[in-house]
Chains A and B, each alone.
Chain A
Amino acid sequence: MADLIIFLALLATGYTVGRIAERRHYRSILAREKEMANVLVFTNRFPPMTQQASQALVTGSVVISEDYFKRVVSGLQSLLGGRLRAYESLLDRARREAVLRMKQEARDKGAKMIINVKFQTFSIPGRNPRSFGAVEVMAYGTALTLR
């Protein structure tokens, strides 16, 4: 019985705090994406031929953790298979956050464009196989500063 109460409390905490945090994060992402809109990102491998530019490697990374609610839901969902909706938003947030951090670094260097952007997603292993659900998303590319 005590187990059940702890479980439900964790579930409720995870859900409320996690959902509030997610909303806040999305608001912040949207605001910063508008602010950073003048730093352009592309996956092209080649820089624009018409312009001379100096270049630098820029990276952005974030480690983001699931909340308790997401973990339970996805655990149950994985019994049935199908779409893990709870994780979709988690990874979406992480990826956009990583891009924003990369853009920030580029802007700090005075660059207006990042090309050859690559993503890398790394799931952080826990000390025991079931213990952990955190994921690192990293974005990197070459920032071009026009001369």
Chain B
Amino acid sequence: MEYHNPQPPEGINVSQTHPLLDFLRLLGGLLVIAAIVFTALALLADKLAKYIPFEREREIASRFADDFPASGPVSTYLQQLADRVVAAQELPAGMRIRVQYVDNSTVNAFATLGGNIVFFRGLVGKMPSENALAMVVSHEIAHVKLRHPISTLGRGLAIGIVVAMVSAGSGSDIVGRTLGNAGLLTALTFSRSQESAADADALRTLARMYGHVAGANEVFTLLQKESARGTGNLPAVLRTHPLDQDRIDAIARIAAANGWPMLGPTQALPEEIRRLVEKPKE
């Protein structure tokens, strides 16, 4: 009997594909799947958001954050303005808007769960007139009216599910966390279509309140001026919105279609308020 050990050829027990190629293909495939799952869940969240009673949304909101203390003349003024806007905006029954004012130089305003709208001093100080301020207030109220905060929350949950799926599967927290951070950034801002819808609704309200939409015109003139100076100074509330020019065109189109004049007499902010929100000179 003969005993031999011929050397078997190389590469039978290992795959010959390049590991990087493999990795990229894998990553691409997973991203596509994650995107599909996320889109499906997000669409579902958008669809279902309407059916969540506003009362329930308020409960959720109260669990998330303590109320800012509502006091001071600016706060009262903003609430009164919001009440006037609400009267013109035809909110569904039972939907209440609460304005909260933050004495902080941040140029921002946002709508959040439970009909809470937060205004920062920095933004109010930039407003050239009450009409312009009413436009922004109305825009934020439109978000609440159209239930955008709750569907954004739903989208956040969808991201949470995708992230949990990926990080549980990959055994790597970092992959999941990175995906999560990227996802959260997109989830926490309203989508373009949501912004356009809020714009249109705010415009209608403005026309009903004043008979013209000069306030919107002023807001976007300001927007253009700020963006010409560089996006760094752009109010955060405006930065994430549809591209400036697109947005201005859309506004003009809607105004023209409805016969709302783009110009008209505007009302200045009350002197006392103006003084309070103006940047303190140091």
- What is A's interface to B at a CB cutoff of 8 Å? 1, 3-4, 6-7, 15, 19, 30, 33-34, 37, 40-42, 48, 50, 69, 71-73, 75-80, 83, 85-86, 88-89, 92, 113, 130
Contact = CB atoms under 8 A, between A and B. Distances in A.
A18 B173 CA distance: 21
Contact of B23 (A37, A73, A79, A88): A73
7 contacts: A3-B181, A40-B4, A50-B1, A72-B175, A73-B19, A83-B15, A130-B171
Interface of B: 1, 3-5, 7, 10, 13-15, 17, 19-20, 22-23, 26-27, 29-30, 165-166, 169-172, 174-175, 177-178, 181
Given A7-B174, A88-B14, A15 B29 contact: no
Contacts of B29: 80
Contacts of A88: 13-15
Contact of A33 (B7, B23, B30, B181): B7
Given A40-B4, A41-B5, A69 B169 contact: no
Please report whether the interface of chain A is mostly helix, strand, loop or mixed according to DSSP: helix
Nearest to A33: B7
Nearest to A82: B26
A77 B26 CA distance: 7
A80 B3 contact: no
A78 B30 CA distance: 11
A6 B4 CA distance: 51
A89 B12 CA distance: 10
Contacts of A71: 171-172
A78 B50 CA distance: 37
B207 to A, nearest CB: 44
Please report whether the interface of chain B is mostly helix, strand, loop or mixed according to DSSP: helix
A80 B28 CA distance: 12
B92 to A, nearest CB: 41
A83 B181 CA distance: 30
B177 to A, nearest CB: 6
A76 B30 CA distance: 8
A78 B14 contact: no
Contacts of B30: 76, 79-80
Contacts of B20: 15
A130 B26 CA distance: 21
A133 to B, nearest CB: 9
B31 to A, nearest CB: 10
B164 to A, nearest CB: 12
Contacts of A4: 174, 178, 181
Contacts of B171: 71, 75, 78, 130
B172 A72 contact: yes
A12 B171 CA distance: 18
B19 A75 contact: no
Given A85-B14, A130-B171, A42 B19 contact: no
A3 B178 contact: yes
Contact of B3 (A33, A40, A89, A92): A40
A73 B178 CA distance: 16
A69 B19 contact: yes
A32 B26 CA distance: 35
A40 B174 contact: no
Nearest to B166: A79
Contacts of A73: 19, 22-23, 26
Nearest to B34: A79
